[in-house]
Structure 1
Amino acid sequence: MAYSNWLIYGALLTGQRLDLAHWLQWYAFDVIGSITFQRRFGFLERRHDVDEMISKINDGLELVKIIGENYWPDTMGKFLKKLQREIDEADKGGHLSEYVTYQESLKLPYLQATLKEAMRMHPAVGFPLERYVPEGGAEVCGYNLPAGTNISTSAPLMHIDKGVFGHDARIFRPERWLEASPENLSLMDRTFMAFGHGSRTCIGKNISLMEMGKLIPQLFRHFDIEWA
């Protein structure tokens, strides 16, 4: 059974509302298992946290997460509608396969812009990526850095740079990726560090992008999604 159909299968099986957060986590872990070990861990089949893998990760994240006021339901509705409309139009126009391919998802501009903006606002890499200045020192942005100096970059700070992402850099607005000039878009892409950068790039970056690109359109085709 196709991965995306497990979500639909789960809804039909229970006849009840799904806790989508659990199913998305199970899906992600089973995809990783299938790619890495040529077999799924069994999250989707068993419909529970196998060997408490997810709960153990969540327990660790409690040490670093910052909880703020959740205003998303009040502001995200308009973006949700635009995304739904784009996917519906692509579906009606015959531009999506029965199981959406990654290449098809790349042709959905608002979907891609929304994914980038979400990762810009909430990058997976939230901690400094430290390095040591090599022998001979270095000059960065006019600053002389002696050899051995511990330096780092911070994706969350770089992602709210108004000189790169505009005066509203602290606001979630997917349209910035569609309205930018070619020069500005290139600068934004170079500054985008949701998965790290260079040799520090997350090894699972391409898997994550593929999962999101294939699964999200499939969900919007089969479910009416609303904020809880």
Structure 2
Amino acid sequence: MVLPLLSGSDILSRLSSIFLGFAPAFLLLSIGYEAVFYGALALALMAWLVFENAYLYLSKNNKSSASFKGMEDNMVLASDDRSLQWSDMRISLAFMVFFNIAFFGTGNFASIASFEISSVYRFITIFSPFLMAALLIFKLLIPFVLVICTFTAITKLIRVPLLGCYFLVIICSDVMTIHFFFLVQNTGSWMEIGNSISHFGIMSAQVVFVLLLFALTSIYTKDIQTTSCKQLSRKEM
């Protein structure tokens, strides 16, 4: 997991290194279909990156008839990042979808007891609840790391401020939190009451959880380099 820090700083090399670097740890802690889930999630995230790259290329072609001066004034800020647009909401929505897939892809993250304890037998065979729980939590955090690293790389690719996209994610999370708040039940079976409360609690804690993961994954994504938007525009002109 340290080797991705020594890989190339371009987006494709760094993300490929991150996916391959975390793969051995996840596979050694997996049983059954979970290994397939990791590969499918990595391919889906790479497809998301390719889609955003193609959308960026088509957008620049559509705006090639505009003058460079107008495009620079309207889209590029002093920090070489363009301002947020309504179309950038798709990035936040896609992030929410992938984040929830990582959340429930291998089981219910809200209950560690729902996971197979046999997945940690490759590292420890003596019953140790704290160490086993730590290994399980580490395994469950790996898909989140992949999703957030891809999200950060996409914001750097299309030159959108990461903090602005994070605020869009907060808005989407707040809307879902309000939705689940009105679905909280105090009548019915214990399962229905527990599920309604857990859904609301998960969405309430997601904002803080995502922020902590952003701080963790910044180690891998802080030196990712992309071609400057101004340089690309000058080359096209």
Q: Same fold (TM over 0.5)?
A: no
Higher helix share: 2
Which protein has greater RCO, CA pairs closer than 8 Å, 6+ apart? 2
Higher strand share: 1
TM (normalized to structure 2)? 0.31
TM (normalized to structure 1)? 0.31
